[in-house]
Amino acid sequence: MEQPSQEGIEHCAAGRLDEALRCFRAAMDADPSSRAAPYNLANTLRLMGRTEDAVAAYDEALAIAPNFSAARHNRAFALLQLGRWKEGFREYEWRKVCPGFEDPRYRLPNPWQGEDLRGKTLFIYPELYQGDLIQFIRYALLAERLGARVILAAPRNMHALLRTMSATLELIEAAETPPYYDYHCALMSLPMVFGTTPDNVPSWRYLKAAPDRVSRWSKRLGKGPKVGIVWHGGDRMTDRFFPLALVREAMPDVRLISLQKYSGLDQLADCPSIEHIGCQLDTGPDAFLDTAAAIACCDIFITADTSTAHLAGAMGTRTWLALHNPADWRWLEGRSDTPWYPTMRLFRQPTRGDWKGVFSKMAQEVRLTLRLPVDVLSNAPVPSTTEHPK
């Protein structure tokens, strides 16, 4: 009974997804009471982009084991990817009992469930990664608009960036809990409490680049069309990251400026014509401040699915996001736009692993865009010259 499942896991890890499906179906036939086989089948179907089928397979696993938290967690992602956000965000609450989600603050008394916030203190604490914090911190502003005093726990090096969002937001260290609050809410639970759907996403510019840094980087980068680029993130989820050489090959006549920091820098050796300023960005104690300013100085910012994509989107800059196939749940399916960021365009792999197809299409759009006046390139408002000079 274990052999087909183990073989399926090995096939899946090697990218042989059709073979993995056959193994997991054989495991289900061999042991109809197994919760692991339909769960692994569902995960494989998600990798294949068969999201509806994946939901059905998760349902089979949960019919056997209703409290199977990992299946609940992954089913939530599938629902969210399909745009079924109300159901998906409710299901995503199961993360709080999954391995890897051990924050003791989940168990604090008085979780906020939509109660009136006028005159109340709401404590929000972070989850997951920098990009998630940047994307979902917009809800702190909504809470303030409902009359709350908001205390946000966040990494110290991000405080300066987050202060550009609201002068009244109170910031503490990421792991801290304030001595007093009326309600608390985990960052990733905020969309559920606010009843977020793809049709009512709170989307506006909520982070800003510091004008003095924008002025400095504008002088440093000079005039003329400029395309900023970030192609790599950390060591996790490497399928999201694209080869820099493909971009240079597709856009040989475009001025590309690398804002890349830390990982992926070895790829610059094969692209000597790309200007690299990443090593000069954010060298002090604060994260993203120079990066935000440099992005604001670019006509287009091209990025992989990393935290800088969320930064650029939250600033309202013209951002082109290169997406792997299948993409993360937050980008939905089949769309070239995203309700999260009105000034962002999505360029999806036509087939799994096909980055060349992404940049072939993007290169055509870059050339067209750089020939046109800035104010006709986007339906979104053009960034002000103070915050985002061009």
CA terminus-to-terminus distance, the chain: 62
Tell me what pLDDT residue 3 has.
63
d(CA 191, CA 22): 37
Cα four-point dihedral sign 308, 312, 318, 321: positive
Can you tell me which residue has the tokens 């502003």? Answer: 141
- Amino acid at site 318: R
**Domains of the chain in sequence order:** 2-97 (1.25.40.10), 104-193 (3.40.50), 211-376 (3.40.50.2000)
Contact between 225 and 255 under an 8 Å Cβ cutoff? The reply is yes
Q: SS3 for 185?
A: strand
Tell me what pLDDT residue 2 has.
54
Contact between 26 and 46 under an 8 Å Cβ cutoff? The reply is no
**pLDDT (tens digit, 0 to 9) for every residue of the chain, 390 residues total?**
456 678 888 888 888 898 888 999 988 888 889 999 999 999 999 999 999 999 999 999 999 999 999 999 999 999 999 999 999 999 999 999 998 888 899 999 999 999 999 999 999 999 989 999 999 999 999 999 999 999 999 999 999 999 999 999 999 999 999 999 999 999 999 999 999 999 999 988 999 999 999 999 999 999 999 999 999 987 677 889 999 999 999 999 899 999 999 899 999 999 999 999 999 999 999 999 999 999 999 999 999 999 999 999 999 999 999 999 999 999 999 999 999 999 999 999 999 999 999 999 999 999 899 873 333 333 333 233 333 333
d(CA 317, CA 89): 28
Looking at the DSSP bridge assignments, the partners of residue 322 are 347
Identify the CA nearest to 256 among candidates 230, 288, 282: 230
Cα four-point dihedral sign 307, 308, 314, 319: negative
Looking at the DSSP bridge assignments, the partners of residue 123 are 151, 184
Rg (CA), the chain: 22
Strand 300-303 relative to strand 319-323, pairing: parallel
State the SS3 of 55-120: HHHHHHHHHHCCCCHHHHHHHHHHHHHCCCHHHHHHHHHHHHHCCCCCCHHHHCCCECCCCCCCCC
To the nearest 10°, the Cα dihedral for 97, 101, 102, 108?
-70
Q: Is 348 exposed, middle or buried (0-12, 13-18, 19+ CB in 10 A)?
A: buried
Tell me what pLDDT residue 7 has.
86
d(CA 263, CA 233): 6
- Amino acid at site 278: G
d(CA 361, CA 308): 22
